Structure 1
Amino acid sequence: MKASTADLQLLEDLFASPTANWRRFIDRYASTVIQVVQHARHCQKWTLTQKDADAVVVATFERLAENDLEVLRRFDNGGNFNTFLTVAARRIALQELQDRGAEQRIQTALRDDSAKRLQIPGS
């Protein structure tokens, strides 16, 4: 299935003027990215607060915007943009979730180690 005319037009507008059209892009595809993050979170059994899940959605959009929309520019106009975006967002979201999980494990280990060091010997 090919990309819709609306998808192609929005991408064309976005590439021509990212600043002017980024909000339109977010408005159109926010539900897709949110759904991808929720699904990835559920499948990977990540326990995140809503605030953390929202942060992953924001980080996903930030990564899509990086380097002059590099990821989005990889889209082949002959394909389905929604499928392309779903795959790209899933890869980004999984990386973000893994990074956040690793960061949480490090912080927990540091807290646990600090607590051990602060214990009074022999008590």
Structure 2
Amino acid sequence: PLHEFLTVDTVVQTKPPIEMIIECMNLLRKIDGKVLIRTTINNDDKKQIVPSSAQSSITDDINGKLQELELFRHENERLRSELSSNKTEITVLRGERDSLMHTISKLDIELTKAEYQRLAQQQQQPRKK
């Protein structure tokens, strides 16, 4: 027996072309449904489409800038942590300084009292000739 095959025309729906400009990006969907993404440059409020050869260098530049930004963020976090530990160390050192100043003040008072007592004892002792 012969098999009968139905031939059904498959209808490919094509999407209408659409163009969107998002800041410095130009998106263009062609009749066949493919989407083109291009970066644009602002010159005196005019949009210029960057050639695709330059687009890869711009993408590389953007990726490089993003990596630099990430490095700066890590460096910023490290510096903030270092600053925090330095502030803590300064607080501890100030406490030690205040304690030492208090001790010096006490020793100065004791030394003054001892000197006063020594002078008083010398005046009370009869002078030997």
Give the TM-score band, short-chain normalised. Answer: 0.3 to 0.5
Larger RCO (CA within 8 A; separation ≥ 6): 1
Task: Give me the TM-score of the superposition, normalised by structure 1.
Answer: 0.34
Q: Which has the larger radius of gyration?
A: 2
Task: Give me the TM-score of the superposition, normalised by structure 2.
Answer: 0.33
- Specify which structure has the higher proportion of helix: 1
- Specify which structure has the higher proportion of strand: 2
